[in-house]
Every structure is written in C-alpha cells, then in structure tokens.
Structure 1
C-alpha cells in the first residue's frame, strides 16, 4: 500500500512568502493565471499528502541527494520526503532553471 502523510500543512511553511508574492503578482497581471496558480498549489498539497513519493528524481530539479520534483500545472515543486514529512524546498515556474551551487573549479575541490 502507498504511503500517506497524515498532515501536509507544514510542507509549504517555508514557501508561504513566495506563494503570496507570486499570487499578488499574477493577480495584478492576469487574474485567471492567479486562480490557476492557487489551484496548482492546492493540488500539490493534496497530491503530496496522498502520494508523497509522487515526484520524480530525473526532472533536473535541485542537486540535493534524495530530492524529488513534482510538476503541478506550470510550476515545479522541489521537495524532500523523509518517510514522515514533506519539506518543499523550492517552488518555481517551469521556465525557470533550478539553482545550482557555484563551484570554483580552480579551488582544488
């Protein structure tokens, strides 16, 4: 049987500011896009609470061991799942590149 989370309410805690800003930005430009974004976030919460392993590892998301990427509408959610809880690390539009660490090749790494 698939794993389920009892509570996914804290998964987005660190991303609430981004969600608010993006929603406000979209409301000013295109109210329909703002509604679509809000629906995508609601769907992501539902999906992650029902199927926390539904993201994929091959999408080119964050370069963090064990991270998963969930595609919801036009947005990508990069997150970690430790078997008990989901932690959404980054929400980004699908056209945005995932951030990668700056490595100085000459630093002797």
Structure 2
C-alpha cells in the first residue's frame, strides 16, 4: 500500500443499494478520534466516497484485493466529504481470526 494508490470502496450508502466509488489513498497510519472518546489507530485515509451505510464494507485495490474495511468518515454534513478511513486488512484479521477460531495464535 502507498499514498496515491487507486482504491475502490463498496458499500450501501444511505441504504440506496450497492454502490462503488473510486478514490486514492490519501495517507497511511492515521488516527481517527481522540483518547478521551476512543481513538482508532493505524488507519488508511482515502478520498473514495464512504457514507453512512458503508461502514464494514471493503476497501479494494485495483486488483480487487481487500486491503481494508471502511470504519469511519470525517464529516461536518453527515455525508462524504472526501475524508474516509479504513482499517487495514492485516489488523482486521488479527481481531477477527481469534473470534472465528479461538485456537488461532496471534
């Protein structure tokens, strides 16, 4: 992954049905939120449209590989403003695999 890389966000924005948006990786290793209210670390920042209803949906690279899971947007209006965040898939796997198979080593 690198800044400037082309990415695609799949989601169900505003419950309007499946949608696909294209963008770029704007930054890596971002923090969303703050310590007092619960921060999320090591995020991928993208300008691909991520709207309410798209959280939990995949962020894909141009080869169609899942590189992240959409988790948040920075928005003053409640809609996409070109600042979306995805959790990198390697971190998602570290969290999810022990839940799927409790015998999985970290």
Common fold by TM > 0.5: no
Q: Larger Cα Rg: Structure 1 or Structure 2?
A: 1
- In terms of fraction of residues, the more helix-rich structure is 1
Could you state the TM-score of these two structures normalised by the residue count of structure 1? 0.29
